[in-house]
Amino acid sequence: MVTIGASVSSSEADRLAAKQFFNCVEEAVFCDDQFCTEEDRRLFPSKAKIQSLQAAYIVMLYQNWEGSTSSKGRIRRFRYSTVVAVARDVGVGHARHEIYSAATFDWQDFILREELIRVILWIFLLDTAFVIFNNVPPRMAIKEMKMSFARNDACFQASNSEICLQQVMIGHQEPHLLSSACEMICNGTITDGELASFGHLGSLNLFVATSAIHSMIFQAQQSFSPQLQLGPIYNALANWHLLWQRHIKADAVMRSHDVALLTLDITRLWQREGFSRFAPEYWMLASMLVQRLDRTEQDVIDKSREDPEVKIEPKDELLENYDTDMRQVNSLIAEFQKVML
């Protein structure tokens, strides 16, 4: 935490000092006995194991953000695969909340479960980031995410057990799983009941959902018949937009990062939404990618019908090279911007 904090400090001296420790902290974390030792998968993971997974995620984050080119490549190609393996050893299926009541609520157990849920969600988000920005095949499958959603931020930010339980009881406690929710939004327009049930998800969970759509798009591109897979993706994009519109009406002040800041006490600024507030931009990119992929495939079909004797090779107009730096996707986004203008 000290290293990643210093790496984004406003002080240049702090940032330079942090970079000197990047590699040695990485080595210490990935060689730690707790991180490398496999526990009994049948049991809920220990707090130390979860903390070691959190530490590994933080290392990947600061190296991917601020590290050298070689460090970024090492994280993407080697370290991340190790973290995914450890997350599976810990057990994605353990990342679930119980149905809580005043009689059975254990705040410390709730915190531990929420920490496990969130770190696995963050690891999945990093997986989709590599898919989006580096054109790397996903290493986590959406169907394996048979885990709970993260609870709303009011639960996670509660200062004591009573406040946390109060927020838990206010919120929805339906045992929805992430994998099931992703499947649901792909299967036609969601009903009003489903919208009410899933409308409380919050920005982090919705960010995970729109990132999952990018994984689906990548898989569709690799198919010999991409158009057959685009229908569910179009459904997912439309349904996600409905869920996000419901979300942004829930707590506009906590989402604000501009004028409404003046209405917040300075001690509460940390409670605002973080990077996940940019989820609509990921949704917009996904929408453009699907439209481009759909149009490309349709052009191939039309040309084949015009002259059946001529074999038309499908042209990949999205990202041609795999496991690259971000310049390739930056060029694609710049191209989209020109079209929008």
- How far is it, in rounded angstroms, from Cα 290 to Cα 338? 17
Q: Is the Cβ–Cβ distance between 236 and 182 less than 8 Å?
A: yes
- How far is it, in rounded angstroms, from Cα 51 to Cα 85? 16
Containing H/E element for 244?
Answer: helix 227-248
Check residues 67 and 170 and name the one with the higher pLDDT: 67
The separation between CA 276 and the C-alpha centre of its own chain, rounded to angstroms, equals: 9
For 240, the token pair is: 């996600």
- How far is it, in rounded angstroms, from Cα 144 to Cα 312? 37
Residue 114 has pLDDT above 80, yes or no: yes
CA nearest to 242, candidates 198, 289, 187? 198
Residue 161 has pLDDT above 50, yes or no: yes
What single DSSP character describes residue 105?
-
Check residues 193 and 287 and name the one with the higher pLDDT: 287
CA nearest to 206, candidates 146, 133, 280? 280
Q: Give the pLDDT score at 341.
A: 46
Residue 279 has pLDDT above 90, yes or no: yes
Q: Is the Cβ–Cβ distance between 139 and 80 less than 8 Å?
A: yes
Amino acid found at 273: E
Long-range CB contacts (< 8 A, 24+ apart) of 34-37?
Answer: 35/86
Q: Give the pLDDT score at 259.
A: 46
Q: How far is CA 139 from CA 83, 144, 206, 262, in A?
A: 11, 11, 20, 43
Q: Give the pLDDT score at 258.
A: 52
> What are the backbone angles phi and psi of residue 152, rounded to the nearest 5°?
-65, 160
For 100, the token pair is: 């809580």
- How far is it, in rounded angstroms, from Cα 341 to Cα 337? 6
Q: Give the pLDDT score at 172.
A: 65
Burial class for 76, CB neighbours closer than 10 Å (0-12, 13-18, 19+): buried
Q: What is the pLDDT of residues 244-265, one digit of tens each?
A: 998 887 655 445 555 455 566 7
